[in-house]
Structure 1
Amino acid sequence: MERQMNLEPQKKEFDYSKRSQWLRAAVLGANDGLVSTASLMMGVGAVKEDIKAMIITGFAGLVAGACSMAIGEFVSVYSQLDIEVGQMKREKRREDAFEATKLEVQEEENDESLPSPVQAAAASALAFSLGAMVPLLAASFIKAYKVRIGVVVAAVTLALMVFGWLGAVLGRAPVVRSAAR
């Protein structure tokens, strides 16, 4: 019986920290898209009850916010990448010939864990856009002004909880606390 147990291949546990870069960017982007777009729409809605003005403002906020988030995330993650690559090069220079060969093998493994500026920027822009679509869609089909404002608030609140839950599930974190946050 022991022999059978030893023959089974060892399962390697998934390292959820590898998801941290894009997951952080996605959660931040989605939440920012939800809150900033809804805030813009409600600000315009407080001054003017016209649904067109509210939707155009929300759409402009979606485009501007997605671009801003993507550019900011790209620059931020690229700076982090520069630091990590620089550190790897400094460590490589410090090692002797034997250790340098050993480090090259480690460096190939580390390349997989290096942050991707393009991936983070795309995740952030996409998540912002998805988040911004919630208040836009909630407001688009409701003509009555007060009902529209209430539906936007309810939809954004529910979406914030869903995005918190989804981030927790993907990161294997406490679900209730993340959804409530």
Structure 2
Amino acid sequence: MRKHFERHYAERIGWLRAAVLGANDGIVSTASLVVGVAAANTTREDVLIAGMAGLVAGAMSMAAGEYVSVSSQADTEKADLERERLELAQDDSSEHLELATIYVKRGLEPSLARQVADQLMAHDALAAHARDELGLSEMHGARPVQAALASAATFSVGAALPLALAWFASTAFMLPAVAGGSLLFLALLGGLAARAGGAKLVIGAARVSFWGALAMAATALVGKIFGAVV
């Protein structure tokens, strides 16, 4: 029999979320920082130093934030599994009934639901309850290190793009070059993320571009105001 193989978009949720978040933050935060500092009429060196500092600080912040956040999720999942393991040891019959009730609510006949519950629990009771009662699966399991590394790496790549624009653009055209180029990068990122996740390209590109433009406009305004005051 030929083996049937399917690839689902849900398999990409773990790394895709962290990667898109990291790259988006890298572009938006660094481009906004560069635009804001440049709008304050500072020197080219000051703009580049601020951008590099933003890249390093942002990458570390993303890694730490993702690691702590996903570790908390992993701790919660582990605690739920431990509690379920204890309940299985203390009251196995009630756990059989609980699992069967879940299958009845999903459309199975009560007798068939009990048979399914009995067979699944005989195979791996904890896995059956983790999947069908708690909604936990290996596909969606928390991976703190993977999330931290993906966020830090993609943030660095994203932040390097507006920095490269600032490096190669002349002082007179730095603002439009960084703003326009960064919006283009954001649109491409949104489109690629939408494609990878099975969503519409235009919607994915538009939503990240909108928030990126808003962030750069706000920091440019701050740079203009405080640059004039200082």
How high is the TM-score relative to the length of structure 2?
Answer: 0.68
Task: Name the CA distance, whole Å, in 1 between partners of 2:156 and 2:39.
Answer: 23
When residues 135 and 101 of structure 1 are mapped into structure 2, their CA distance, relative to the original with a 3 A threshold, is same
Is the CA contact 1:92–1:100 (under 8 Å) kept in the aligned structure 2? no
Q: Report matched runs for 1:25-104 at 5 Å.
A: 25-95=18-88, 96=92, 99=121, 102-104=124-126
User: Could you tell me how far apart the structure 1 residues matched to 2:159 and 2:32 are?
Assistant: 10
Which residue of structure 2 lines up, in the alignment, with residue 143 of structure 1?
170
Deviation at 1:112, TM superposition (A): 5.4
Give the aligned residue type for 2:31.
A
Higher relative contact order, structure no. (Cα contacts within 8 Å, ≥ 6 residues apart): 2
Runs of 4+ in 1 over 4 A off after TM superposition: 104-107
- CA drift at 1:103: 2.5
User: How many residue pairs get matched?
Assistant: 173
1:124 corresponds to 2:148 = no
| Alpha-carbon distance in structure 2 between the residues aligned to 1:94 and 1:25 | 34
Aligned residue identity for 2:124: K
- The Cα shift of 1:21 comes to 2.2
Q: After the TM superposition, which residues 138-177 of structure 1 pair with which residues of structure 2 at under 5 Å, given as runs? A: 138-145=165-172, 147-177=173-203
Unpaired runs of 5+ residues, structure 1, are: 1-6
Distance, in Å, in 1 between the alignment partners of 2:205 and 2:67 is: 27
Secondary structure at 1:48 match in 2: coil
Q: Which moved more, 1:76-85 or 1:47-56?
A: 47-56
Code of the aligned partner of 1:37 = T
User: In the TM superposition, what is the alpha-carbon distance from 1:84 to its structure 2 partner?
Assistant: 1.1
Q: Is the 8 A contact 1:73 1:121 kept in 2?
A: yes
TM-score under structure 1 length normalisation: 0.85
Contact 1:40 / 1:58 at 8 angstroms: preserved in 2? yes
Larger Rg: 2
Letter in 1 for 2:10: S
- Counterpart code for 2:180: A
Q: Tell me whether 31-40 or 70-79 shows the greater mean CA deviation.
A: 31-40
Once the two structures are overlaid, the 10-residue window that deviates more, 77-86 or 95-104, is 95-104
Distance 2:18 2:123 in 1: 35
Q: Which amino acid aligns with 1:154?
A: G
Whether contact under 8 Å (2:84, 2:126) holds in the other structure is no
The one-letter code sitting in structure 2 at the alignment partner of 1:51 is R
CA distance in 2, matches of 1:89, 1:100: 19
**5+ residue gaps in structure 2?**
94-117, 131-135, 208-230
